[in-house]
Chains A and B, each alone.
Chain A
């Protein structure tokens, strides 16, 4: 067995043995991110202003008739979510790096994937909060009703996949001098499957296409979520270590 395989196997055993410690560390990271953001509102406000500007610009730029509006909605929504999400992912890791806090986290005697999952859940909460504000604003601006349970489910699953891979790549990019530029360059090519599937599934629900035609896209999003969460669990330790 290679050294990497032994380390991963050891970490799986450690995570199984110390589930209490793993959960405690994961929740501590989530709590810390939410508490700090509640005070500063630095991340959410940047993401929200950016997202609202994007949908406003699209609204004026496209000048669409009501029928065409419903067909472009899923694309406009996911472009907005992806760009705003990238902004949040970058900032969330930069906060850790700039004051050396990432080292502080890595020095803790916990499985490092707990740190990854804590950061990823924090990023997901921020992204969902922005999406929850964008949806009603979009509904008003574009006169398209977005409050469809299927669409909400797609947004939730798509956001999980996007933040799962985004948090992992942000952890890599944060060590470079060009992290602001590097993250989108790394993230968008890797996130294309989940973004395309999310756009297609969202359009399917908005256009009331039969569920059996939407299911392959939903399944693709779920598979993407599972695969990238598993990949992140296995490789995060190697990514953050020198």
Chain B
């Protein structure tokens, strides 16, 4: 299928998305749009469908109904074109413990057909601050270092969109701060970012827009400019409890 994407102002466009697992409906006609360069924090209680939604955006799960377009390409029909433009970081590292950091990145670079592979791997290891540990096995890394390397893996092919599924899970305070630095660096390079999180204070520090996913739909959406981040908790609670906020 052709990889010429139609012109569109939204880099992510989701309309009437429904996802069912057997009799259980997780997403119920969800609508979601993201402009290029936005950093969207997707908030929501446990079981709201955040991970399911991100897995659909990542082409790891098929929508039951509805339309999903990323960088102008339809899912699931143009999944390969979408994957080429997408980086994903989940709370699992997606890395091989018995390979070194460099070997892991070289492996994924081959899978993505990254040109000038050696230079790009070295550049990414510098970006995530692991150049001096590049020859160590990943299983000897701390959780925070693994998560930084996971971000390196996700941006290796220079994707337009990066999805983060609760990237702070299981990290201590220092590791979280270090991870935030890498997240800011990723966003500062003009990439569009969607991040699910339970941590409102970190989301408030990083995101340019806050969306609350509740009961399978986007219950509220506010740009950072329209909310004092001190009011974020109240905004989140109202949205999660079903009170229409925006």
Q: Give residues in A with beta carbon < 8 Å to B.
A: 10, 14, 21, 24-25, 27-29, 31-32, 35-37, 39-40, 95, 99-101, 103-111, 241-242
State whether A36 and B110 are in contact (beta carbons under 8 Å apart), knowing that A103-B60, A241-B62 are contacts in the complex: no
Which of A29, A31, A100: most chain B CB closer than 10 A? A100
Residues of A within 8 A of B111 (CB): 25, 28-29, 105, 108, 110
| Chain A contacts for B224, CB-based, 8 A | none
Closest chain A CB from B19 CB (angstroms): 9
Name the B residues within 8 Å of A104 (CB-CB).
94-95, 108, 153
A31 to B55, CA, bound (A): 27
Would you call B113 an interface residue if the criterion is a C-beta within 8 Å of the partner chain's C-beta atoms?
A: yes
* Inter-chain contact B108/A108, CB cutoff 8 Å: yes
Judge whether A10 and B1 touch: CB under 8 Å.
yes
State whether B107 touches A106 (Cβ < 8 A). Answer: no
Please give the distance in Å from A154's CB to the nearest CB on chain B: 33
CB proximity of A212 to chain B, nearest CB, Å: 47
Question: Contacts of B107 on A, CB cut-off 8 Å?
Answer: 28, 31-32
Q: Does B98 reach chain A (CB closer than 8 Å)?
A: yes
Among all A-B residue pairs, the 5 with the closest Cβ atoms? A100-B92, A104-B94, A108-B111, A242-B61, A28-B110
Closest chain B CB from A224 CB (angstroms):
30
B137 within 8 Å of A (CB atoms):
yes
Which residues of chain A are within 8 angstroms of B55 by Cβ–Cβ distance?
A: 242
Residue among A25, A103, A241 making CB contact with B90, cutoff 8 Å: A103
A109 with B80: CB separation less than 8 A = yes
**Further pairs besides A100-B93, A103-B92: 9, Cβ < 8 Å:** A25-B110, A40-B98, A99-B92, A99-B95, A99-B97, A100-B90, A100-B92, A107-B60, A110-B80
27 contacts between A and B (CB under 8 A): A14-B80, A25-B111, A27-B110, A29-B111, A32-B96, A32-B99, A35-B99, A35-B103, A36-B96, A39-B99, A99-B93, A99-B94, A100-B94, A101-B96, A103-B92, A103-B94, A104-B94, A107-B60, A107-B94, A108-B83, A108-B108, A108-B112, A109-B83, A111-B80, A241-B62, A242-B60, A242-B61
Contact (Cβ within 8 A) A109 B81: yes
Contacts of B229 in A (CB 8 A): none
Size of interface on B: residues with Cβ below 8 Å to A: 32
Bound: A10/B78 CA distance, A = 10
- Cβ of B169 within 8 Å of any chain A Cβ, yes or no, is no
What residue in chain A is nearest B79 (Cβ atoms)?
A: A109
Q: Mark B91-132, 1 if CB is under 8 A from A, else 0.
A: 011111111000100011011110000000000000000000
Q: Using Cβ atoms and an 8 Å threshold, which residues of chain B touch A25?
A: 110-111
Q: Which residues of B contact A100 (CB under 8 A)?
A: 90, 92-94
Task: Judge whether B108 and A36 touch: CB under 8 Å.
Answer: no
| CB atoms of A103 and B88 under 8 A apart | yes
Q: Which residues does chain B contribute within 8 Å of A108, judged by CB atoms?
A: 83, 108, 111-112
B60-100 to A contact mask, C-beta < 8 Å, 1/0: 11100000000000001000110110101010111111110
A102, closest chain B residue (CB)? B94
A40, B137: Cα distance in complex, Å: 11
Q: Any chain A CB within 8 A of the CB of B58? A: yes
Determine whether B59 belongs to the interface, using a CB cutoff of 8 Å to chain A.
Answer: yes
Determine whether the beta carbon of B94 is less than 8 Å from that of A101. Answer: yes
What CA separation (Å) do A11 and B150 show in the bound complex? Answer: 29
CB contacts (< 8 Å) of A14 on chain B: these are 80
**Chain B residues, CB < 8 A from A99:** 92-97
In the assembly, what is the distance between CA of A120 and CA of B17, in Å? 35
Task: Please determine whether B113 and A21 come into contact, CB atoms closer than 8 angstroms.
Answer: yes
Give the docked Cα–Cα distance between A25 and B112 (Å): 8
Q: In whole angstroms, what is the CA distance A31 to B80 when docked?
A: 23
Is there contact, CB below 8 Å, between B95 and A241? no
A24-B110, A32-B96, A107-B59 known; A39 and B88 CB under 8 Å? Answer: no
Q: In the bound complex, how far is the Cα of B96 from the Cα of A103, in angstroms?
A: 12
CA distance A103 to B108 in the complex (A): 12
In the complex, A27→B94 CA distance in Å? 19
List, in ascending order, chain A residues with CB within 8 A of B95's CB. Answer: 99, 101, 104
Among A32, A39, A109, A111: residue with most chain B CB under 10 A: A109
Nearest CB on A from B246, distance (A): 31
Shortest beta-carbon distance from A4 to chain B in Å? 12
Chain B residue at minimum C-beta to C-beta distance from A237: B79
**Shortest distance in angstroms between B192's beta carbon and chain A's nearest beta carbon?**
17
A24-B113 contact, Cβ under 8 Å, with A109-B83, A110-B80, A242-B61:
yes
